[in-house]
Structure 1
Amino acid sequence: MVALNAFEDLIAGLQETDRLSLPGFKPSPLKVCYSSDNSTETSYDGSGPPLPFASSKIFEADILTWRRLTATNGDCKAVYEVTLDVEGSEFTFKAGDTIGIIPQNDDSDVDFIVSHLNLTSNADMPYSITVDTSTKGNKLPIHIPVKSTIRHVLKYCVELRSLLKKAFLLSLSRYTKDDKERKILEYLCSKEGAAAYSTHVLNKSLCILDIFSIFKTCKPPIEVLLGNLPRLLPRPYSIVNSGLENNKVVKICFSVMTNNNRKGLTTGWLEKLILNEEFTLENGLKNMRISEESQSKQKVSIYLRKNFSMFCLPENLENPLILIGPGTGVSPFIGFLEERELLKESNKDVKFGDVYLYFGCRNPKLDFIYEEELNNFLAKGTLTKLFTAFSRVDSEHRYIQDALKESGKEVVKLIKEGAHVYVCGDLNTMAVEVKETLVKCLVEHGDMTLEEATTKISHMQKHYQYVVDAWS
């Protein structure tokens, strides 16, 4: 049995545990009623879930062009740049802004849930939901339509890849027929199984798709999923280009991540849109244009997001800039440099500050994205210095922190001249280590104590002179 093989190390512990301390079980207060009419209406109890940080309405953007930025050979993640047509959207954006992309779950995942729960005959029937309000606090989650179809909700409304909370696991166990499978689910959500929950659920990012694949007899009513699965939230993406030059297109850059042998929800979907059967990659670097016949099918729902973090160029054009972005973290800085170049042309009497950019990747021959663009900015003087670090080849700098440390004296000089520092990339490792490196540079080259250097960076953050755009 698959469940026993996957959780073999739990069996001994289960046999030794007579009684488990379980969270309280709360039956689902939702009731789905199907209708035989032909209505396909989707409506909410109220206005529906709001768009996070929205500064515009949703716009259906056509994919104009795309290109692969990394090589197709070697151990190299696929990184793409996609150009979206936003003419008619009235979007007003500048370098550093982001868009939200409205994702959708993969049809194969939706079909799997529908099949597993024996909902094939009902999945496309209109439904209405009632809520048992006899118990205080019972309500319909804001992201679940009061009227729709199950297939629509599974595709557009709920996050099928979200981590499973213990209360959800307990509910799932109540609808698991096989005794051993049920006991494993109960153990995972019990106080005694806290370590196992971390090891098998959190660390492995198990989602409802995995549970149904492993625990074959776990077949809860659809109401249990609707009451427990969180909202399928929009995904934020940095805008690569500057709206000062052309506000009729939006460019985004993304790498296709893989987790548990599944491609990233939004990045995998976008890759499917561009890599359809009409195209061949050849060397993976050519710019591709969507054909007229397929263009109407290649649409992405997007909206502009508010730039609360002030991740944008400073108003004072004389301020130096320190741009730090390994991997796809460099993408918003292409817009920064585009914008800087345009501002230079229209402000010829202003002495612009220096711009240092730090970029890191694994191998310059495989994943040095935007290399040509950066070298062009360097040749034109828009970019003063370009520092690189390559972690998988013999190079002077393996990581971006090494390059920062090596040029620490110059970095400190720029900071003392009023430089604005921008960091874009991974929050958990890179952003933390970059901050630590800059503090050390201030101590070593800035005649500061550790406390003074830390206070300096904190002061810069408070006044938006040190801005981080990071993801986890």
Structure 2
Amino acid sequence: VTRAQIKVLAEFAEDLDHQRALLDLCADGDTNVANYREQILGNRVSLLDLLQRYPSIMVPLNTGLELLPALRPRYYSISSAPAAGSDRCSITVGALIAPARAGGGVFRGTSSNFLARQPVGATVHGFIRPPGLPFYVPDDATTPMIMIATGTGLSPFRGFLQERAAQKAAGANLGPAILFYGCRLPDSDFIYEDQIRQYERGGIVEVVTAYSDVTDGTNAWVQDKVAEHGARVLDLMGQGGNVYICGGAETVAPALRETFARMYAEHNQVSADQGTEWFEAQRANNHYLEDVWAAH
């Protein structure tokens, strides 16, 4: 909810304490702005949350409807390749259900839960948007590929592996490809495992897994596994290989950025600043590509 929307709600608050609290949130002072960012933006507070928190707000229906923001489109990575069937595509979606940050109740992702409720055979409208970055299998099949994913971030790489399998079937010589995949538990959270293992047996990809919640002492984060194989990863990048990241923008993405910069610095015995400089050059040259999303 924006500060302008809060100001409108304050006009209709019949309780003076409620009105003052709302006006404080939308005032221009540095402290007020900081409180707004912490209390409202930081907790993803919605209009409905404020109406429940300040029940004296008697906003007219037409005004309330005008305050409602338009739903933004939700973008999902396509998890199939045209080579697997040109008349269809698939997406892989995890239904977002989590404790509400605003306090009390449960937050349910609008789009993911809408899709989860649809019966088999339902029609859902959408559109395809070309990627803004070259986040796809290189035209040159010999180009090394390093794919790193967590959770449903495996989605685009399922399509990548379908494409590589089609390239191999057509007689192409494939360059090396490694998939680093992280999830909580192997038995319940490794999506598409049977398909991925089949591609591994077929020489399409090498798979390295990281399970964060196992209790046998082998638990690790995906960035730990990348660092463990750092020499090979850097060698493949030195051969012109591309790194593809798919996962959380607030978790795995920053952890991997730090890991790659540190790996380069340590393996080449240079300063941390030089490692960061090298990493930023990889990003600028589209050799390090991210398809990441923010949590609710």
Same fold (TM over 0.5): yes
Which one of 182, 188, 196 corresponds to residue 19 of structure 2? 182
Distance verdict in 2 for CA 1:397–1:439, change over 3 Å: farther
Distance verdict in 2 for CA 1:409–1:396, change over 3 Å: farther
Matched, 1:266 2:80: no
Alpha-carbon distance between aligned partners in 2 of 1:448 and 1:248, rounded to the nearest angstrom = 50
Name the residue aligned to 1:389.
Answer: 210
Where do residues 295-374 of structure 1 align in structure 2 (5 Å cutoff)?
295=121, 298-348=122-172, 350=173, 352-374=174-196
Name the residue aligned to 2:247.
Answer: 425
Residue 355 of structure 1, CA deviation: 0.6
One-letter amino acid matched to 2:208: F
Higher normalized helix content (fraction of residues): 2
One-letter amino acid matched to 2:214: V
TM (norm. structure 2) is 0.89
**What SS does structure 1 have at the residue aligned with 2:186?**
coil
Alpha-carbon distance between aligned partners in 1 of 2:55 and 2:8, rounded to the nearest angstrom = 15
Aligned residues: 285
Where do residues 45-444 of structure 1 align in structure 2 (5 Å cutoff)?
164-190=1-27, 191=29, 193-259=32-98, 260=100, 261-274=106-119, 290=120, 295=121, 298-348=122-172, 350=173, 352-383=174-205, 385-394=206-215, 395-444=217-266
Return 5+ residue gaps in structure 2 as ranges. 101-105
Distance verdict in 2 for CA 1:452–1:196, change over 3 Å: closer
Residue 242 of structure 1, CA deviation: 0.4
Alpha-carbon distance between aligned partners in 2 of 1:195 and 1:462, rounded to the nearest angstrom = 33
Q: What percent of counterpart residues are identical?
A: 28
Name the residue aligned to 2:280.
Answer: 458
Residue 223 of structure 1, CA deviation: 4.4
One-letter amino acid matched to 2:261: V
**What SS does structure 1 have at the residue aligned with 2:191?**
coil
Distance verdict in 2 for CA 1:446–1:305, change over 3 Å: same
Residue 321 of structure 1, CA deviation: 0.5
Encode CA deviations 1:268-312: one digit per residue, 9 max, x unaligned: 1111214xxxxxxxxxxxxxxx3xxxx4xx221110102111111
Encode CA deviations 1:320-368: one digit per residue, 9 max, x unaligned: 11000011111110000000010111134x3x21111101111112211
Alpha-carbon distance between aligned partners in 2 of 1:230 and 1:400, rounded to the nearest angstrom = 37
The higher-RCO structure (CA 8 Å, 6+ apart) is: 1
2:213–2:219 Cα contact (<8 Å) kept: no
Alpha-carbon distance between aligned partners in 1 of 2:73 and 2:86, rounded to the nearest angstrom = 22
**What SS does structure 2 have at the residue aligned with 1:252?**
coil
TM (norm. structure 1) is 0.57
Residue 449 of structure 1, CA deviation: 4.0
Residue 318 of structure 1, CA deviation: 1.0
| RMSD of aligned Cα (Å) | 1.9
Alpha-carbon distance between aligned partners in 2 of 1:199 and 1:238, rounded to the nearest angstrom = 31
Aligned structure 1 segments of 4 or more residues deviating by more than 6 angstroms:
none
Encode CA deviations 1:116-175: one digit per residue, 9 max, x unaligned: xxxxxxxxxxxxxxxxxxxxxxxxxxxxxxxxxxxxxxxxxxxxxxxx111211110101
Alpha-carbon distance between aligned partners in 1 of 2:147 and 2:198, rounded to the nearest angstrom = 16
Alpha-carbon distance between aligned partners in 2 of 1:306 and 1:231, rounded to the nearest angstrom = 23
**What SS does structure 1 have at the residue aligned with 2:82?**
coil
Higher normalized strand content (fraction of residues): 1
1:388–1:397 Cα contact (<8 Å) kept: no
Alpha-carbon distance between aligned partners in 2 of 1:418 and 1:200, rounded to the nearest angstrom = 46
Alpha-carbon distance between aligned partners in 1 of 2:142 and 2:274, rounded to the nearest angstrom = 26
